[in-house]
Amino acid sequence: MTLQRRDFLQLAALGGGAISVAGLAGCATRPTPADEFYFVQLSDIHWGFNGPPNPDARGTLPKAVAAVNALPTPPDFIVFTGDLTHTTDDPVERRRRMAEFKTMIEPLKVKTIRFLPGEHDASLDRGAAFHENFGDTYYRFEHKGVHFIALDNVSDKGTTLGAEQLAWLKTELATLDPKAPLVILAHRPLFPLVPKWDWHTRDGAQALELLMPHEHVTVFYGHIHQEHHFQTGHIAHHSARSLMFPLPAPGTAEKPTPLPWDAAAPYRGLGWRGIEIEHGDKASLTEHPIGAQA
Amino acid sequence: MTMKRRTVLPLVAGLMVAGLTRAQPAPRVIELTAQRFRFTPRVIPLKAGEHVLLKITALDFPHGFFLPDFDKRVDLMPGRAVEFALTAPGPGKLHFLCDNFCGEGHEGMDGYFEIAKA
């Protein structure tokens, strides 16, 4: 496992991604090194998008897939935090895009992949097509002593988790040790980042209230197409970059419209991240920008 | 009667925000439509302190009407006017938007009140 960690840090150095250390945190105890692992987060692929903000709309995801496959040590698993596809009114086209997306990620060497829906995948049919292609829209799993909970704050077009899911979350959390490390995955921010841009979850405060008794909570999400770090109480929130187009920094424009493609710096603002979990200690994030030559 | 009472609920919420009391004169009625992916009208001139009653009709989808600065919203019902009361705050822009994801142009479905001095 020591080798794995060394490889990961080496990768970070080679990849040019900044390493930031984030709290999973507050855990003072350092358990056995065998519990160290890392996973990869990819987000906001928007497969099916076609427009000037990304003239290489069909080529960016393959670059990310190749880069993940080139990691010196493969991650334990990969998570896609929503907006796998770009929205369409046509249910047939929606399913075609999802099928093509699955084909495009088929070359990933790591086969343990967790999927979350984004509003582009799920809001127009309450997650029906997503469920057919990728399974449940919210669920819990455990990996090497770390609990992961994937939340669905997009299948309801009104950006809510809803009473049923909140009740499920409450039940699941009741089974966990409040001192155990807990990672929450979601598409939208659970806190009101920019409500006027719809960058929030309408009932996210209820979820955060349920999470507050848990001492070591970290949230990884997407939706805002950029790296962003925020803290609500002791809970850390980290958003990921997109693989289609970047959006303006929170609240800095009238609308969250895609930033224009920069031919002098192609793929600028696009990327993915590696997340190393040192069980009971901390999460280390490594951002991997998409490179023109990658 | 039940349906009618439900329709009035957003109005009551709006009144709480706006501080409108029964002693005040009847508000000016402003009609809006919500249709993918625009509100019509999108820009609504008001005067500071003016009491208005919005009657908002969705034409094609259960859009939302959200006033983020007041953290107040209402779901719109296709084909039926939903009422929302408002007293204009001080001069400036007061933004509103659709907060029910309605498709590819959803992010651009918004508008604002242009509030002038009284």
pLDDT at B18: 45
Measured between beta carbons, which residues in chain A are less than 8 angstroms from residue B77? none
Tokens of A170: 């409450």
Tell me what the pLDDT averaged over chain B comes to. Answer: 85
Q: Which residues of chain A have pLDDT under 70?
A: 1-34, 279-281, 292-294
The answer, for B27 touching chain A at a CB cutoff of 8 Å, is: no
Cβ-defined contact of B104 to A154 (cutoff 8 Å):
no
Q: What is the pLDDT of residues B23-81, one digit of tens each?
A: 667 899 999 999 999 999 999 999 999 999 999 999 999 999 999 999 999 999 999 99
Give B16 or A230, the one with higher predicted confidence. A230
The answer, for A259 touching chain B at a CB cutoff of 8 Å, is: no
Cβ-defined contact of B99 to A159 (cutoff 8 Å):
yes
Asked if B67 and A123 count as a contact pair (C-beta separation under 8 A), the reply is no
Which CATH number is A40-267's, of 3.90.650.10, 3.60.21.10, 3.90.950.20, 3.90.1640.10? 3.60.21.10
The answer, for B111 touching chain A at a CB cutoff of 8 Å, is: no
d(CA A280, CA A32): 9
Is residue B98's pLDDT more than 60? Answer: yes
d(CA B26, CA B35): 28
pLDDT at A292: 66
pLDDT at A281: 58
- List all residues 6 or more positions away from B99 whose beta carbon is below 8 Å from its beta carbon: A158, A159, A198, A202, B64, B65, B66, B73
Q: Which CATH architecture has domain B2-116?
A: Sandwich (2.60)
Task: Please give the ipTM for the structure prediction.
Answer: 0.85
Measured between beta carbons, which residues in chain A are less than 8 angstroms from residue B95? 196
Minimal C-alpha gap between A217 and chain B (Å) = 27
Structural domain boundaries in chain B: 2-116
pLDDT at A291: 85
Per DSSP, the residues of A133-165 read HH--SSEEEEETTEEEEE--SSSSTTS---HHH
pLDDT at B25: 76
pLDDT at A279: 61
Cβ-defined contact of A157 to B100 (cutoff 8 Å):
yes
